[in-house]
Amino acid sequence: MPALTRDEARHRARLLDVQQYAVDLDLTRGEEVFGSTTTVRFTTREAGDTFVEVRPHTLHRAVLDGHDLDPGTLADGRLPLTGLEAGDHELRVEADMPYSRTGEGMHRFTDPADGRTYLYTMCFQNEAPLVFAAFDQPDLKAPFAVTVTAPEEWTVLGNGVARRVEGEPGRWECATTPPLSTYFVAVAAGPWHSVRTEHAGIPFGLHVRQSLASHLDADADELLDITRRCFDRYHEIFDEPYPFDSYDQAFVPEFNAGAMENPGLVTLRDEYVFRSAVTDTQRQTRGVTIAHEMAHMWFGDLVTLRWWDDIWLNESFAEYMGYQILAEATGFTDTWTDFAIRRKAWGYDADQRPSTHPVAPEPDAVPDTASALLNFDGISYAKGAGALRQLVAWLGEKTFLAGVNDHFTRHRFGNADLADLVDSLTRASGRDVRAWADRWLRTSGVDTLAPTLAEDTTGRPPRLEIAHTGNRPHRIAVGLYDLAGDGSGTLVPREPLEIDLAADADRHTHPVDGPRPDLVLLNDRDLTYAKVRLDEDSWRTVRHHLSGLPDPLTRATVWNAARDMVRDGELPPGDYLDTARAHLPRETDNAVVAGVLDFARHQLADHYLPPRRRTAALETLTDLAHALLENTPADGGGGGVHLTAVRTLVDSATTPDDLHRWWTTGTLPGGRPLDHELRWRLLHRLAVLGAVGPADIDAALEADPSAAGTEGAARCRAALPDPDAKAAAWQALFDESDTLSNYLFKATFQGFWHPEHHDLLKDYVPRYFEQAPALAARRGAAMAENLARYGFPRPFTDPATLALGERCLADPTLVPALRRPLADELDDLARALRVRKAH
């Protein structure tokens, strides 16, 4: 199907005004297809031709203004509408539509735990025509009236309140919505287990498949409390009230994204309904997601982007609000520490690859929907949110919110772009927001700030010199820290410097009162988006006293600086690992612990260090994990640090002896019992080390026949260091029958590639580059992304793999959904080779 171009969308928006969609779905036609009848009323402003998008299994009939259209004219998902006169029109399209197993369109899932089936839509960006006929672009908004026929025992959910039709078993009718973009239309159907309540006159609901019912019930109070608190906080800061008639959150299986902001019916991945122990950081992440999706009810749903170049208007704002509102409204008050150590690293990495792009690209840089899809990345989310955090620091929160509320008032239930928002912020602030936006949102790349303390011999106070590489203005705090005189290693903060860095100056000088501090930390409190460096004396201080810093956000900023120095070849990976071993055992914030351990385990050990040093690195991580366990109780204390350490202990094991003992006793160090998640994690590591076989995996699956268990078994089978197991996994992944669902595809690849299996897997590396292009073209965008993200042969950090990948990337037929993530993986590989060469 050809991507919709911006020019085509502009032409159609000038020609059409859509009054209403009536969508009738029949979910009782078997396991392969469902019925879809769409009636759309629209007006043409002048005579002309256009098309409607629909991607059916079978197109039965299309009727325009009472006249049948030739179904044979449907080509590449487009049905031509020719010879339209100016005035009112009605189009009716009757079709059978295909169910999806890749999380796109109408996804169909049968729960292996109990055989029950669930359906949900994912119409995001250009997938609505897999569900109903549509003028599928964001600026042709219209009300939707949706009706559904389903098995009688099912429940149906929609954007508006769904009610059973009296006297018609299995028939449901959803309340007509306000004007929506087509990509927001949502239906979820199945024998859901639901928890319902009402808040502020709005019905709230939580929904999950039956096999997770007890886990939802255990978490419902927390989920609803977060939902209520965020809802109330948004009503405190936004003038516009919640614009829809209900707020349902459906936790759905095999979901590709974290969540989707469908108005009135948010869909979230059902891994957020925890069936095993989790850390406080994981609970906080779930809370941020809830707050993020609720922010979209205003940023994206009430006011929608006009075209996909402005996706940041949706995602950057929701990302910023998710972290800010959760911190303001709930007990999760340290959200920005997690943002600093985890999300900003995602943004920084994306912004240094060849595929980087501005937060808000120029309109011509996003010519079609295929290119737009690639911009849902760390730049549109994390960098954009970091830029907004800087904007709030510059304007002040009160002024920022005044501009946002003006934006909502002017464009409610309509569409807007960057210029519209800038105008609102300018009116509210009286400042030149357009110049700020040009510097921050229209440019790509990461600025770097590096300090030097200059002293002279005259006795005058030292001067702080900041070298600024980049062209953005920054408002930052500079932390100045002195070692306590009591020998405790505590770093005592002075009054921070508040500094404005001009956009075009490459060097800034500021006096420092008092003697030379032991640590100078640029961007303390993490208010701007920029890489920072540590001068030699400051690095020496943190190398010995990092755990003496009093604030977790400050420690996260230091760890980010060290991480960036490693990635840029300025700090040996071993020095980072040694610093982690020395200071992480005293860390109390789990977000910091998890972020540092993840980087050390999966980047340093597996890629940045040469293979001969990998085992020693894993042993260091094992020692570190044991030290964390000694310092942290297992009964929930430490905010999840204990659980994070246990996971690291399992993932870093180099021999199976301890793992076997824990498996046999059912207990991990510190007395932590093996729950579902830890059991599959442990079995996976045993499989990688060749210490279990297919019979052990079968027995584990029999004990846990859930969807997560099925994925765990697929992961473990692919991880066995056996030629037949690898061949079977490869066949399942690349066979043209394409039977693996999106989640089983991902799980199989997660088990397949391991550094421990280098000799066994070396012949599969060229096969990956030979076969990946055809699979990506065949299975669609979501699977193409999984193919690069999970399928890339990361254990082979060598020039030969880089050369094979570059040859593949040069193929002009490569689909964009694979080309972009493949280029990113190759850039990461090249960076790892540079880091190895530098040290």
Model confidence pLDDT, tens digit, residues 117-165: 999 999 999 999 999 999 999 999 999 999 999 999 999 999 999 999 9
Determine how β-strand 531-532 pairs with β-strand 448-454: parallel
Task: Write the CA distances from 235 to 122, 200, 619, 646, integer angstroms.
Answer: 28, 11, 51, 41
Q: CB-side exposure of 431: number of CA atoms within 13 Å?
A: 14
> Residue 718 contacts by C-beta under 8 Å, 6 or more apart in sequence?
725, 726, 729, 747, 748, 749, 750, 751, 752
Determine how β-strand 155-158 pairs with β-strand 78-84: unpaired
pTM (two decimals): 0.97
CB 299 within 8 A of CB 326: no
Residue 173 a catalytic site member: no
> What is the rounded average pLDDT of the residues 798-807?
98
Determine how β-strand 463-469 pairs with β-strand 448-454: antiparallel
- Decide if pLDDT at 499 tops 70: yes
pLDDT at residue 532, as a whole number: 97
pLDDT at residue 637, as a whole number: 54
CB 41 within 8 A of CB 164: no
Residue 200 zone, left/alpha/beta (φ > 0; ψ -120 to 50; rest): left
pLDDT at residue 26, as a whole number: 98
CB 580 within 8 A of CB 598: no
Residue 489 buriedness (CB in 10 A; 0-12 / 13-18 / 19+) = middle
Mean pLDDT estimate for the chain: 96
- Decide if pLDDT at 672 tops 90: no
Output the CA angle 672-675-677, nearest 5 degrees: 115
* Domains of the chain (ranges, CATH numbers): 1-99+116-188 (2.60.40.1730)
CA distance 682 to 565: 33
Catalytic residue (choose from 104, 173, 254, 293):
293
- Decide if pLDDT at 636 tops 60: no
Model confidence pLDDT, tens digit, residues 174-201: 999 999 999 999 999 999 999 999 999 9
Q: pLDDT band at 654, cuts 50/70/90?
A: very high
pLDDT at residue 364, as a whole number: 83
Quick one: CA torsion of 424, 427, 429, 435, rounded to 10 degrees?
A: 70
Model confidence pLDDT, tens digit, residues 207-233: 999 999 999 999 999 999 999 999 999
Chain mean position to CA 81:
38
Residue 305 zone, left/alpha/beta (φ > 0; ψ -120 to 50; rest): beta
pLDDT at residue 505, as a whole number: 84
Model confidence pLDDT, tens digit, residues 235-255: 999 999 999 999 999 999 999
User: Reduced to 3 states, what is the DSSP secondary structure of residue 252?
Assistant: strand
pLDDT at residue 457, as a whole number: 65
> What is the rounded average pLDDT of the residues 339-351?
96
CB 789 within 8 A of CB 599: no
pLDDT at residue 635, as a whole number: 61
> What is the rounded average pLDDT of the residues 522-546?
96
Residues in the chain, total: 839
